[in-house]
Structure 1
Amino acid sequence: MTASQSGSDPHLLLAQALAPANRVDPYPVYQQLREHGPLHLPEVNLMVLTSFAHCDAVLRHPASASDRDKSTIAQRQIAEGKQPRPFGLAGLVDQRRTPAFLFLDPPDHTRLRKLVVKAFAPRVISAMQDEITAVVDGLLDTAQRNGEFDAVTGLAYPLAVAVICRLLGVPVEDEPQFGHASTLLGQTVDPFLAATGKPEGFHERIEAGKWLRSYFRDLIQRRRRDPGDDLISALIAVEESGDQLTEDEIISTCNLLLIAGHESTVSLITTAILVMLRDRAQWTALGADRHRAGRVVEETLRFDPPAQLLGRIAAEDIVLPDVTVPKGDTMIVLLAAGHRDPAANERPDEFDPDRKVIRHLGFGHGTHFCLGAALVRLEASIALSAVTARFPDARLGGEPVYKPNVTLRGISSLPVRI
């Protein structure tokens, strides 16, 4: 069923927006949802928010919680003696695990972020610039010899894997298996809204998550014995007033960085390549002036963000313009719809890095603003300025193939001829 066929029924529109078959272009459905206004499904304690103003307000609101156990549904399950079902499949990997601080609220979140942010100092990110440039140049050398490349497998994916492995201290020989497992893990953050049944590839994702946790556990033990110049060693060593991260906290943090950094970087770079190759003037302009890269990155984050939605819980009644979210309701904050809100951005359906103001929430906002935002921006800027300068006559070699992911929407294949 297409968006037009679903008419104005908001339940059908929501189903279409979340359907894997709609990944190629979900924006017509997002527009209809946004024009409908806040969508409340009281039978499942769910509120879907699609305007930029509502998305921004929820992410800023002090009662907007990330702890899933604060939801009405979770509290009902706890009262019945059941294990609360997580928002996404990620929680099914190991229900006994320590949650990443993405799913925690203050004071627990404050404590963990304060410790982890020390290992993400600007000097650490800046020190990676030369290495990122070298990786990109090597990948483009290969592309030039072949006369073509895939924007995912030939550039964005190997770059993101190389950087995250370097950051975490993963040995080079483990990169292929590590990269495969991290890609599967990125699929576990999609909303698990079906009342029954499990999505295709469910068990493979669960096993990948378990393998990664086991891998990180072994790597942490190695770094305790022999510290290196990497993030895991830094997380082991970091301390604040006698407080340190536990092993489970380090593992959960690494998993979070994988999902937020690896998948988002691949999607951002590939999407930017696609939209610029569809608009040759933008490709040419960046190739001639690498200083445009920052604007291209920000406009891509607005126009077609890697993170299409975020989940939050109303820890108390949240009063927003034109709607009140009842305490305990789960909120789906549909960022991709909000970014195309004409009240926030003029000509929202146009890709225009030269627009005067680029308003987006691509890295979240407030307490949970993405820790790795600076690294993602750096990787994307280097890759995009290099590929456009090296291959001024590049063109699409075929149409993009999209992953089924809803939350972290991205392309799995994009052939480019040079």
Structure 2
Amino acid sequence: MNLFSEDMRRNPYPLYDQIRSSSPVLHYPPSDLWMIFDHDGVRRALHDHEAFSSVVSPPGNRTSEWLIFSDPPRHTKLRALISRAFTPRAVAELEPRIRALSRELLDRTIERGEMDLVEDYAVPLPLLVIAEMLGAPVEDQPRFKRWSDVILDLSYTVSGSEEAARAIAAFTEVTAEMQATLRGLIAARRASPRDDLLTRLVGAEVDGERLNEDEILGFFQLLLVAGHETTTNLISNAILCFLEHPTELGRLRAEPHLLPSAIEEVLRYRAPVQAMFRVTRRDVPMHGQVIPAGKPVLAMIGSANRDPGQFSEPERFDIARDPNPHIAFGHGIHFCIGAPLARLEARVALSDLLARLTGLSRASDAPWEPRRAIHVHGPTRLPIRFAPSPRLGA
């Protein structure tokens, strides 16, 4: 059983079903890793910070500054400060610009009647949005993507592979580069504030405390990788789902008001993030086993979202599923702070794609190649063919 093989990462769900029904808590000896597969167990691992710590990054490692790798009380302080800058209103105000970026990207390729959905659209859209949020120039997009790819490669440090040392070295190098860039951007915002996220992060204050430069860098790295990778995979996975379930695609075209519900079903059916890391604070009894204290744990979100104990007919893709208590964005105090942005970008992207691309089909029969990081789910490339519709708003 190779949980990290390409075949497994392309379609992990049959194995998830097998393991969840026989051993919902599984010890994986090659990495001395414990994995939780059922909905209730994963939900607990994500929110019970008394038993499962989020501090999974070694002290001194730059990722230890990230919000998602902290526990209370530090997490409480960081989240309060970041929430002051990353408000629902600030996200909602991005919609016109996201729509303009989406249409610009489609206009570049649509007349060809084919594109690589991932490289031509699903990757650049969230990267352009993040660059704009930070007030960075558009020309920085390729550099942002390179940084994001290096950060994602850190997931291989958990697999026990020989790539781990290379991933850590590359991340150290990239962090120095990011820090130099961010320091310049922060200095510019302090000298001349703008209406962007970085200005708000620099000025955010709670009880007289502000974010320091390392904390802003940590959030920048997190936003870059989570804000880009999650949304890229959400958009790509949605099109994959519709290509595999043409009846549901026809249903959505006939009932466009189902788009928000369809996005939630994509999040459940093909969760962009398949697993989250935790470390046990103490011995944790679960499903007749005991996970020892101090052990790394993978909470398998992708499996939890297909648990028949929680979802009726979990293998059925149903764009009107209700209720849909998926945990694709986590649960509890660590619920994804960027979830409203990811949902907004997906709503804009899919409404534009479905309005302008008709007769959708895959342009290759080859199995799609999974994304770089072992804990995410989605294609690296997705060549598609279509009949182009007229420019929106024309």
- Give the structure-2-normalised TM-score: 0.90
Structure 2 SS opposite 1:411: coil
Question: How many Å apart are 1:44 and its aligned residue?
Answer: 6.5
**Cα distance in structure 1, aligned partners of 2:139 and 2:306:** 42
Corresponding position: 1:279 with 2:279 = no
Partner in structure 2 of residue 415 of structure 1: 383
Partner in structure 1 of residue 120 of structure 2: 154
Partner in structure 2 of residue 17 of structure 1: 3
**Cα distance in structure 1, aligned partners of 2:26 and 2:225:** 28
Partner in structure 1 of residue 235 of structure 2: 269
Partner in structure 2 of residue 4 of structure 1: none
Please say which of residues 367-376 and 389-398 is displaced more in the overlay. Answer: 389-398
Deviations 1:92-112 (A, max 9, x none): xx7367521211110011011
Superposed counterparts of 1:28-67, under 5 Å: 28-37=14-23, 38-40=25-27, 46-63=33-50, 64-67=52-55
**Cα distance in structure 2, aligned partners of 1:181 and 1:62:** 30
Partner in structure 2 of residue 83 of structure 1: none
Structure 2 SS opposite 1:105: coil
Partner in structure 1 of residue 77 of structure 2: 111
1:130 to 59, 83, 96: 96
Matched letter for residue 305 of structure 2: H
**Cα distance in structure 2, aligned partners of 1:282 and 1:186:** 32
**Cα distance in structure 1, aligned partners of 2:246 and 2:171:** 38
Distance 1:100 1:141, change over 3 A: same
Question: How many Å apart are 1:132 and its aligned residue?
Answer: 0.9
2:162 to 197, 221, 230: 197
Question: How many Å apart are 1:191 and its aligned residue?
Answer: 4.9
**Cα distance in structure 1, aligned partners of 2:293 and 2:176:** 34
**Cα distance in structure 2, aligned partners of 1:417 and 1:200:** 40
Partner in structure 2 of residue 402 of structure 1: 370
Structure 2 SS opposite 1:405: coil
Deviations 1:276-321 (A, max 9, x none): 0122122223233332221111111111111110111222333445
- Asked if 2 retains the 8 angstrom alpha-carbon contact of 1:181 and 1:208, the reply is yes
Deviations 1:247-304 (A, max 9, x none): 0110001111112111000001001001101221222232333322211111111111
**Cα distance in structure 1, aligned partners of 2:332 and 2:319:** 24
Corresponding position: 1:374 with 2:361 = no
Distance 1:222 1:54, change over 3 A: same
**Cα distance in structure 2, aligned partners of 1:42 and 1:204:** 27
Partner in structure 2 of residue 27 of structure 1: 13
Structure 1 SS opposite 2:71: coil
Question: How many Å apart are 1:409 and its aligned residue?
Answer: 2.4
- Asked if 1 retains the 8 angstrom alpha-carbon contact of 2:301 and 2:327, the reply is yes
Question: How many Å apart are 1:43 and its aligned residue?
Answer: 9.5
Question: How many Å apart are 1:211 and its aligned residue?
Answer: 2.4
Distance 1:336 1:39, change over 3 A: same
Structure 1 SS opposite 2:44: helix
Structure 2 SS opposite 1:360: coil
- Give the structure-1-normalised TM-score: 0.85
- Asked if 1 retains the 8 angstrom alpha-carbon contact of 2:10 and 2:377, the reply is no
Superposed counterparts of 1:68-79, under 5 Å: 68=56
Deviations 1:191-223 (A, max 9, x none): 5241x7325963555533442233222222222
Distance 1:67 1:97, change over 3 A: closer
Structure 2 SS opposite 1:393: strand
Deviations 1:336-358 (A, max 9, x none): 11111111112212211122322
**Cα distance in structure 1, aligned partners of 2:321 and 2:173:** 45
- Asked if 2 retains the 8 angstrom alpha-carbon contact of 1:187 and 1:408, the reply is no
Distance 1:49 1:21, change over 3 A: same
**Cα distance in structure 2, aligned partners of 1:188 and 1:297:** 28
Distance 1:250 1:404, change over 3 A: closer
Partner in structure 2 of residue 222 of structure 1: 188
Structure 2 SS opposite 1:350: coil
- Asked if 1 retains the 8 angstrom alpha-carbon contact of 2:31 and 2:158, the reply is no
- Asked if 2 retains the 8 angstrom alpha-carbon contact of 1:56 and 1:361, the reply is yes
Structure 2 unaligned runs (5+)?
387-394
Structure 1 SS opposite 2:27: strand
**Cα distance in structure 2, aligned partners of 1:274 and 1:226:** 44
Q: How many residues align?
A: 381
Distance 1:177 1:48, change over 3 A: same
Partner in structure 2 of residue 75 of structure 1: none
Deviations 1:53-101 (A, max 9, x none): 11112222241211137xxxxxxxxxxxxxxxx4xxxx8xx73675212
Structure 2 SS opposite 1:163: helix
Structure 1 unaligned runs (5+)?
1-12, 70-85
Please say which of residues 397-406 and 381-390 is displaced more in the overlay. Answer: 397-406
Question: How many Å apart are 1:45 and its aligned residue?
Answer: 5.5
Matched letter for residue 175 of structure 1: Q
- Asked if 1 retains the 8 angstrom alpha-carbon contact of 2:6 and 2:369, the reply is no
Deviations 1:158-187 (A, max 9, x none): 111111111121112222222232233223
Identity %: 33
Question: How many Å apart are 1:188 and its aligned residue?
Answer: 2.0
